[in-house]
A and B are shown apart, each in its own frame.
Chain A
Amino acid sequence: MDIAVEELAAGITKVVLRGRFDTTGAVLVELPFNKIITEKSRIMVDLSAVSFLASYAIRVLLVGAKIIDGRGGKLVILCPDNNVAKVLRTAGMDALIPVLQTESAATAVLTS
């Protein structure tokens, strides 16, 4: 599981995750992810290169979104593949965290 950060325009931070976001992967990225959450307020989490998503990963994303929301910021999810999107829907995350298919759509939500 890899994590990379890109700074975009309008104060948006893109967090690109790659690999299996399973329990082991989520434990690995939890600390660096939480550090970004505490420092930034407009976050786009790119899941396009994530092949697998487990409940512990959902926990990491949800905790991050709740912290950002409590500060008046926003977190959105970008481009999950079909099965990853199904996991998010099953867990009810798509009703809580915006899931967008393009970077421009995600940018629009984050800057609205």
Chain B
Amino acid sequence: MTRMSSWEARRLVLRNDLTELQRLAGWIEGWAQRGVSADVSFAIQLCLEEAVANVIMYAGAKDSRLVIAVDVERNGTTLVARIEDNGRHFDPTQVPPPSVATSLEEAKVGDVGIQLIRSFASGMDYERRDGCNRLTLRFTEPQTASQRSG
């Protein structure tokens, strides 16, 4: 079921603490089970978790002044999520893809979070504005056969 006629914009503000990821997950689950397909719900949960974890672990390590705001709104069949933080400048769209390892011995640990966002989100944009990082992610519901023909 992908109808979202009663869908409203939503906003959550998080502190610089990894335990906040639990609150983020609960918040997403609370609304993503209504009117969002299972695949898009999974993609949103994954991408927001990765994006916020990145901010907490790298953009504002140990900085109690760091605040992360997550906004989600619907635009037609597309969900748009914005993650804004006042941490140090970090543009995930400029992070190169991780190298492809062919053996466990050479495999590098880490660096897959942004790769997951690139793959699971339909689009990703970044801007630095007023001293804040603003990451915009888009998630598009796949069209059903009846939607395509109608």
Contacts and interface: CB of A to CB of B under 8 A. Distances in A.
Interface of A: 20, 22-24, 27, 52, 54-56, 58-59, 62-63, 65-66, 69-70, 83, 86-87, 90-92, 95-97
B105 A83 contact: no
A23 B20 CA distance: 11
B18 A23 contact: yes
Contacts of A63: 109
B119 A54 contact: no
Contacts of B100: 92, 95
Interface residues of B, number: 29
B147 to A, nearest CB: 22
Given A24-B22, A59-B109, A62-B107, A54 B53 contact: yes
A65 B77 CA distance: 40
24 contacts: A22-B21, A23-B18, A24-B18, A24-B25, A52-B42, A54-B113, A55-B113, A59-B110, A62-B104, A62-B109, A69-B104, A70-B105, A83-B39, A83-B42, A86-B120, A91-B112, A91-B116, A92-B100, A95-B100, A95-B102, A96-B101, A96-B103, A96-B104, A97-B104
Contact of A55 (B18, B45, B50): B50
Interface of B: 18-19, 21-22, 25, 38-39, 42, 45-46, 49-50, 53, 98, 100-105, 107, 109-110, 112-113, 115-116, 119-120
B78 to A, nearest CB: 20
B112 A58 contact: yes
A20 B24 CA distance: 13
Contacts of B115: 90-91
List the 7 closest pairs (A to B, CB-CB), nearest first: A55-B113, A69-B104, A91-B112, A90-B119, A83-B42, A55-B112, A66-B104
Contact of B107 (A20, A23, A86, A96): A96
A106 B113 CA distance: 27
A23 B104 contact: no
Contacts of A22: 21, 25, 49
A87 B42 CA distance: 10
